[in-house]
Amino acid sequence: MATRHGTFYRLAATILIAFLLTPLTAAQPPWQICGKSGNYAANDTYQSNIRQLSATLPKNASASRTLFATGSIGSLPDIAYALALCRGDGNASACEACVTTAFQDAQQLCAFNKDATVIYDPCYLRFSNQNFLATTSNDNLIILKNSQSVSSPVDVFDAAVQTLLNATGDYAAANSSRRFATGEEGFDTTNPTIYGLVQCTPDMSPADCRSCLGDIITQMPRDLSGSIGGRLIGVRCNFRYEVVPFFSGSPTLRLPAPPAPPAPPPAPVNVTPTATPGGKSANNVLAIVLPIIAAILAISTVCLCYLRRRRRRRLASTEQAHYSTNHEDIDSIDSLIIDLSTLRDATNNFAEANKLGEGGFGAVYKGDLPDGQEIAVKRLSRNSGQGIGELKNELVLVAKLQHKNLVRLVGVCLQEHEKLLVYEYMPNRSIDTILFGS
């Protein structure tokens, strides 16, 4: 009798702790799911099979290292299948007491129903006339949601919860024989830590366990979005998260806080123009200076164009003055034209023996015209600075200035790029001898 009372008190204490650590507004445990596979009658064979399972399964679960047990008894059509799982952070005595109570409550909450599931915080139990042990189906989920919402952005909080549950699920599936793990994750100043717990039935393979957990974790944003706590509970796997501690012992995993969201872009700044010492803004200064600069450039351009035009006019006037078109001038020049071939014959093709001298504008050659007249041929070099226009002006001037005291111009040749002036030859004489008669 004392043992029975001690077990009762331990169960009561466990359930009380679960109440205190469960800030959910849903109805408190037990939570039940009553199936639709049929009913049994009082004291019939199926009820007898359930009673036999209730006598053995709690002990088997508590004695198991994984706090898990399954069983079946009887034959068709009264065969009964059962599964009991205690939370991985519990102990054997609390597990046995919880599963025993679950059998009793299942027959009351789902009276005479052949398929019943009863869930407490420390454990859950299912029995059925259907062989659900042969599958890993996690149908008929119980969803428990805290009515309080986070003050942080919902999508950021939901993502943090999923990150924690997925990391914890990875560990539970691959590294725990109980298929159980807990974790905590830093978050923000309002909710410094998020706590999480995941569990599968230990008879599931790592892959089946992770797949089962993945399915219910993906439902979190849909069913529990923004809630500060929640659970999704199935017969094969379940998870829970809170912003307050709710599991025993140290967490299996500790995750750092997720990176802070990027800061919003800075608001556009209205820049006020800086006032100048005169009291006007920089914009006003620009409004004054720019037109002045433009006016100066325009005036400079006009002046430059005017000066260029004036220079052209001066050049044109000079050319008109130098290059006379007077018919008498042109006639006097044409009368002095001598063929290049004549001058080549006269100077033996400008032979060195005929060269009299050489100056800045070219060489001078002695020659004899066909009529016997001796001549001096001034052969302007091609690099001479004296151009055709200047040469023609000189011819016009010299032709007009025939005088006894000046060397007489005999002719000119402007052929084949040659510029040749033909003067009368004055041997051993100069302007001085002519002027002074010496």
- For residue 202, whether the previous peptide bond is cis, meaning omega lies within 30 degrees of 0, is no
Tokens of 353: 């023996």
Within 8 A by CB and 6+ apart from 413, the residues are: 337, 338, 339, 340, 343, 419, 420, 422
- 165 touches 202 (CB < 8 A): no
At what angle are helices 388-400 and 327-334 packed, to 10 degrees? 90
Q: Which residues is 33 bridged to in the sheet? A: 117
* CA distance linking residue 202 with residue 133, whole number of Å: 12
Binding region for ATP: 378
Quickly tell me which residue has 């001058």 as its tokens. 343
Q: Do strands 80-86 and 123-128 pair parallel, antiparallel, or not at all (unpaired)?
A: antiparallel
Helix (H), strand (E) at residue 89: none
How many other CB atoms are there within 10 angstroms of residue 435's CB atom?
A: 9
Residue ranges with strand state E in 20-158: 31-34, 68-73, 80-86, 116-119, 123-128, 142-145
* CA distance linking residue 243 with residue 196, whole number of Å: 9
* CA distance linking residue 84 with residue 70, whole number of Å: 6
* CA distance linking residue 290 with residue 85, whole number of Å: 87
* CA distance linking residue 187 with residue 428, whole number of Å: 122
Long-range contacts of 284-289 (CB under 8 A, 24+ apart): none
User: Distance of CA 186 to CAs 213, 238, 250, Å?
Assistant: 22, 22, 15
* CA distance linking residue 346 with residue 354, whole number of Å: 10
- 365 touches 379 (CB < 8 A): yes
Binding region: 378
What is the DSSP code (8-state) at residue 134? G
- 160 touches 183 (CB < 8 A): no
- For residue 153, whether the previous peptide bond is cis, meaning omega lies within 30 degrees of 0, is no
